[in-house]
Structure 1
Amino acid sequence: MSFFRILTTGFTRRTSISRTQQSNVECHRNSCNHDTIRVPIEVVLSDKCNKSLAFTLEERQRLCIHGLMPACVRSYEEQMLAIESNFHSFETNVARYRYLRALRQGYERLYFQFVSKNVQIVLPIIYTPTVGVACTIYGMLYRGITGIHITKHDRGHIKQVLGNWPEQSQVKAICVTDGERILGLGDLGANGMGISVGKMELYTALAGIPPSLLLPICLDVGTNNKMLHEDPLYIGLRDKRMKGDEYVSFVDEFMESVVETFGRETLIHFEDFATPNAFMFLNRYRDCYCHFNDDIQGTASVGLGGLLGIQRITKKPLEEHIILFAGAGSAVMGIAYLLKTELMARGFTEEEAARNIYIYDQGGALTTGRRDIPENLVVFAKDMKKIKKLEKLVEKVKPSIIMGATSAPGLFSEKIIRTMAESHERPGIFAFSNPTNKSECTAEQAYQFSDGKAIFSAGSPFPPVEFNGKRLTPGQANNCFAFPGLVLGTMTVLADRMPDEIFLLAAHELSKFPTDEDLAGGRVYPLVKQANEVALKIGVKVAQYLIENGFAKRPLESAEVQEYISKNSYQLEYGSALAETWKYPEMKPHPSTAPFEKKLKGKK
């Protein structure tokens, strides 16, 4: 499709204009020469189509925008330099986030060009950890439409609200949150929209999924955060959260409305719901919709990928490791479940798979004597005396791997890390909590307290650490290594379900990325700059699995997947803003019109 066709069809699809606007468009058309392209200026300079100073002089003249910008015609490299210079001119990450939001809303393709070229420096801004801080002040940062907000007062009319999205005929995937558990920051209500937006931007930046197919949604069912109720800039309802059957019925209506509006194969990504609700909806809709929960299943793929990396480094099978999870939220439940699934796939019974897996939460170690254990974790409860302190539990079971998702900074104390290092040659330490200031320990602490023996990974980025003359590089256990590829594969084949097996598959593909040299340095995850490669590799494998196991609705063969993805990926290049033209041979008039032709020539 030419850039011109994107302009014209985009206008028809996105915009319904008033009579006054139509009049303005006609004035714009009439002011142009007859040989110019009649494209409304509102379209030419829209966020979808605006090339800024990259419009050529011919394009500016023929599109009737000549003189609306300076004479300079910037190359791709010059545009990237201008954005990068502005980006680095801001002193804080929140200011950089604000700048990138403005860039996205004014120049969509330019924005994704910059993000894709600079993934390593941009990801911590539009994703963790900065996006969490941005969500706490989202009302102050709000600049315009980024998705759909559906409130609890829209019950009975959710389909009408969804129908207001200008590009509803194109939507193929949705990321939805109710804002109750944003990262490690708690209930942020309608401010959670920032998370849905950030996740879907990574669909495009890392997996090449066109943004026109994506729709961020926030379900505003109120918030129990009193600070937001009192915040004059808060953008959501200042009510307490809707709960119970009324809440479930509301989400049921939302799910039904999504498939009625956008189609049965629409992928629905649940994000940052409170743990009980996250699992409840995951199980409730398992056989009804194409959906997944990234906090549970995406995190599980990344977590298991890291564990498989430890297996590669230590040359010791996972079933022989003693693994301790700190926290019993959605992340830990997801990883523990997928780890159990992996071990059972190796031929172990459920009880055998759970034997060396320990879980610790606010109530202490999960033991059979406790009565407050979530149903998903009962199999991991141990027949042992109650242990309240994590340090004592570590001392007793001597784990070779510890994973934390608690939002409790400093939980992994010096004593815990030293105990693990004394018992194991290469202890695995995963501090998953986001943002950085919530991490269970820092990279420096992990290396220092283990005398450089730790294999350390975190949910947020940590810089390399020099220890005893050796440069140690922490791994980043970032969900961006899983969900873009999972979504890409599922959307490619129009699957009607996302079976558990694809999350296991994603974990194995992820674990293969680090080289032997990476592993020697203790890094079990790819570098963030490799995230595009990871997404494509996982996307292809997922699509092929879904085809081969009967989940695909698009008639594709496994061998055709990679080519199909390549042809349908979002194009970062601008292309020409002018319609394509071609030559016709000279067409002779019909003989019966010859006398009239002679008369006309005579008059001229």
Structure 2
Amino acid sequence: MALSRKVLTPTRLAVECSDRNLLQICKHVKRFTHLDLYSEILHNNTDALMNSRYNKGLSFTMRERQLLSIHGLMPCSIRPIEEQVEVAKLNFMARHDPLGQYTYLMSLRQLHERVFFRFIREHTELTLPIMYTPTVGSAVTLFSTVYRSGMGMYVTIYDRGHIFDVLKNWRVPNVRGVCVTDGGRILGLGDMGANGMGIVLGKLFLYTALGGVPPNLLLPITLDVGTDNKMLLEDPHYVGARLGRIKGAEYDDFVEEFMQAVAKCFGDDTLIHFEDFATPNAYKFLRKYQHKYSYFNDDIQGTSAIGLAGFLAAERLLKYKLEDQVFLFVGAGSAAIGIANLLVRELRSRGLSKEKACSNIYVVEMYGLLTTKSKGLNEDTCRYAKDIEPIVDLEEVVDKLKPAILLAATGTAGVISEKVLRLMAQHNERPVVFALSNPTSNAECTAEQAFQHTEGRVIFSSGSPFPPVVVNGKRFTTGQANNCLAFPGIALGALSMRARHLPDEIYLKVAHVLANYPSEESLKTGNLYPLISEVNDLSFSVAMSVADFLDKNNLSNVHPMPKDICKFMHNYMYRLSYGPSLPNTWKYPPFKRISRPKKS
């Protein structure tokens, strides 16, 4: 058999040649490369260092290094994972720019998976503002310049008719959860096109770091249907398709093909998390897919659980009933209306009719208070339109309605003015105010403004973190109404139980778990939400409530149902410590050799 130089690598020779030529091949290869083919086949494991999932860095034992043929590729010291996390923290803290810290963490994720997730879990308060809001907004804006390969999948409008073929190219076959965006409305930044990948990466990182979902089960996806953002289209470094955003029937058919392809490729109970779709599309797809797939929209459903949890916690703190209060929502987007809708569901569970539940809920959008005379009403907003004269000015609305609770989700800084805050304090002993927009620069008011203009009497919560505020010598802290308190636990519960679909009642249960989690002492500080430092234990409590609902309502594809769901879920979760890198071995007894009788 002739052997050409193009097939001289031992692995390729082993594949292309028959067993009877193996010895000849080994001798031939040694002549040119001085390699032992058997040694390479048995020992060479480049995944040990090149694959982030398996790389243990300096935690490899000497035996592992020798048997995996990676001995000598690193210093001889052994460094446990706890020490690696401390070194990661030193590197993180050495970068004083938040975006520099973000890019360091992205590099760490590609090199050392477990160190990355353990570092975030053990230092959540330190890393959350970097991996999530507010820094993720900067990361999305600059995503095309910080892009690294292997960061999720891109399905473009040019892939119509072949989306299933694209999804099959993902390197991990057992995907159980997908987080997808079309970049239509990222945070308060607007249309960010293919740069939206930054937000779905951040969501799935927190699935694992805070919820314990194994990262190999997760797939971030961007649907690149173009963008109407002129700055991106004119940016020479933009990584997305350079065309105007596709709309109408063509867009809807593309999303429909995507949903069917995910179910076909990964299973019909794969969790599909929609993230940062423009409001009309978000509601359209929620209505279309919620009861057809294992579907979750964090902007609507996750945010609604967080918002309602704040209302329920305020009810605990102030000892009043929600059904007796006036609510004013500023903004008519997916976040505000989603919270209002879940509030109605909560009030109806207390015995109120649909009309009565909606009667004390008012909505202000860009043209003023929603009334029956307002233009552009749709099925998501018409229930909150009141038969009264229109009022354009927010300050006038607050003065007239005297709401006990004001929640703003507009993406516009300064919407909650000094006068609005003073009016809230004038009409309420303890006014409750939420400024939910992210990033911090888009918050409707700052914590300092909220406390100063209400004489420190406000109960204030924001979507992004604010530092403590001192007013008249008294220190006030802001409650963080952050979706990360909810969605990692929702994901863990849905994925571990293989949910067929996720009805709205689940988010009611999640809201009550969140509202009841803070201790009475913590609640008395004015913080309506669990502390970020508690989010790991909280996520498991949320997951258990989701799993319990799915079990009792026969919505789980786990058969047979485990007797101990708590233990089952613990076993499902990602391990933040290293296991052995070598397969288990065991002894066999010696076998007697039986000689064949000689032929006579």
- Once the two structures are overlaid, the 10-residue window that deviates more, 55-64 or 175-184, is 55-64
Provide the rounded CA distance (Å) in 2 between the counterparts of 1:304 and 1:594.
Answer: 84
3-state secondary structure, aligned to 1:160? helix
Cα contact 2:10–2:40 (8 A) shared by 1: no
Provide structure 2 residue ranges, at least 5 long, that are not aligned to the other structure. Answer: 1-6, 15-25
Read off the aligned partner of 2:160 and give its amino acid letter.
R
CA positional deviation for 1:557: 4.1
Provide the rounded CA distance (Å) in 2 between the counterparts of 1:439 and 1:19.
Answer: 62
3-state secondary structure, aligned to 1:183? coil
Relative to 1, partners in 2 of residues 1:19 and 1:432: Cα closer, same or farther, differing over 3 Å? Answer: farther
Which position in structure 1 is the counterpart of 2:492?
A: 488
CA positional deviation for 1:571: 0.8
Equivalent position to 1:258, from 259, 262, 272 = 262
Q: Does 1:157 align with 2:159?
A: no
Which position in structure 2 is the counterpart of 1:548?
A: 552
Measured against aligned partners, the alpha-carbon deviations of 1:452-472 in whole angstroms (never above 9, x if no partner) come to 111110000111222333322
Which position in structure 2 is the counterpart of 1:167?
A: 172
Read off the aligned partner of 1:22 and give its amino acid letter.
T
Which position in structure 2 is the counterpart of 1:187?
A: 191
CA positional deviation for 1:39: 4.5
Which position in structure 2 is the counterpart of 1:46?
A: 51
3-state secondary structure, aligned to 2:380? helix
Measured against aligned partners, the alpha-carbon deviations of 1:65-116 in whole angstroms (never above 9, x if no partner) come to 1111112221223211211011011121111101101110111111111111
Relative to 1, partners in 2 of residues 1:517 and 1:225: Cα closer, same or farther, differing over 3 Å? Answer: same
Map of 1:201-216 to 2, 5 A cutoff? 201-216=205-220
Provide the rounded CA distance (Å) in 1 between the counterparts of 2:478 and 2:597.
Answer: 83
Equivalent position to 2:72, from 64, 67, 71 = 67
Provide the rounded CA distance (Å) in 2 between the counterparts of 1:259 and 1:540.
Answer: 25
- Once the two structures are overlaid, the 10-residue window that deviates more, 120-129 or 30-39, is 30-39
Relative to 1, partners in 2 of residues 1:165 and 1:416: Cα closer, same or farther, differing over 3 Å? Answer: same
Equivalent position to 1:521, from 521, 525, 550 = 525
Read off the aligned partner of 2:208 and give its amino acid letter.
T
Provide the rounded CA distance (Å) in 2 between the counterparts of 1:189 and 1:567.
Answer: 38
Q: Does 1:421 align with 2:410?
A: no
- Cα RMSD after superposing both structures: 2.1
Cα contact 1:476–1:525 (8 A) shared by 2: yes
Provide the rounded CA distance (Å) in 2 between the counterparts of 1:282 and 1:459.
Answer: 23
Measured against aligned partners, the alpha-carbon deviations of 1:254-285 in whole angstroms (never above 9, x if no partner) come to 11111111111011000000000000011112
Equivalent position to 1:219, from 220, 223, 227 = 223
Read off the aligned partner of 1:281 and give its amino acid letter.
F
- Once the two structures are overlaid, the 10-residue window that deviates more, 554-563 or 476-485, is 554-563
Map of 1:93-242 to 2, 5 A cutoff? 93-168=98-173, 170-242=174-246
- Once the two structures are overlaid, the 10-residue window that deviates more, 409-418 or 237-246, is 409-418
3-state secondary structure, aligned to 2:411? coil
Map of 1:6-85 to 2, 5 A cutoff? 22-23=11-12, 38-85=43-90
CA positional deviation for 1:128: 1.0
Which position in structure 1 is the counterpart of 2:362?
A: 358
CA positional deviation for 1:287: 2.8
Relative to 1, partners in 2 of residues 1:575 and 1:37: Cα closer, same or farther, differing over 3 Å? Answer: farther
Which position in structure 2 is the counterpart of 1:369?
A: 373
Equivalent position to 1:342, from 340, 346, 364 = 346
**Paired positions, count:** 576
3-state secondary structure, aligned to 2:433? strand
Provide structure 1 residue ranges, at least 5 long, that are not aligned to the other structure. Answer: 1-17, 596-604
3-state secondary structure, aligned to 1:218? strand
Cα contact 1:29–1:38 (8 A) shared by 2: no
3-state secondary structure, aligned to 2:303? helix
Cα contact 1:547–1:556 (8 A) shared by 2: no
TM-score between both structures, scaled by the size of structure 1: 0.92
Relative to 1, partners in 2 of residues 1:133 and 1:96: Cα closer, same or farther, differing over 3 Å? Answer: same
Provide the rounded CA distance (Å) in 1 between the counterparts of 2:71 and 2:462.
Answer: 51
Cα contact 1:367–1:381 (8 A) shared by 2: yes
Read off the aligned partner of 1:534 and give its amino acid letter.
L
3-state secondary structure, aligned to 1:325? strand
Q: Does 1:320 align with 2:324?
A: yes
Cα contact 1:323–1:358 (8 A) shared by 2: yes
CA positional deviation for 1:559: 4.8
3-state secondary structure, aligned to 1:269? strand
Relative to 1, partners in 2 of residues 1:410 and 1:19: Cα closer, same or farther, differing over 3 Å? Answer: farther
Which position in structure 2 is the counterpart of 1:461?
A: 465
Read off the aligned partner of 2:304 and give its amino acid letter.
A
Relative to 1, partners in 2 of residues 1:29 and 1:175: Cα closer, same or farther, differing over 3 Å? Answer: farther
Cα contact 1:202–1:484 (8 A) shared by 2: yes
Relative to 1, partners in 2 of residues 1:556 and 1:449: Cα closer, same or farther, differing over 3 Å? Answer: farther
3-state secondary structure, aligned to 1:375? coil
- Once the two structures are overlaid, the 10-residue window that deviates more, 48-57 or 393-402, is 48-57
Provide the rounded CA distance (Å) in 1 between the counterparts of 2:196 and 2:280.
Answer: 18
Cα contact 2:10–2:37 (8 A) shared by 1: no
Provide the rounded CA distance (Å) in 1 between the counterparts of 2:117 and 2:8.
Answer: 34
Provide the rounded CA distance (Å) in 2 between the counterparts of 1:335 and 1:530.
Answer: 23
Aligned sequence identity (%): 48
CA positional deviation for 1:385: 1.4
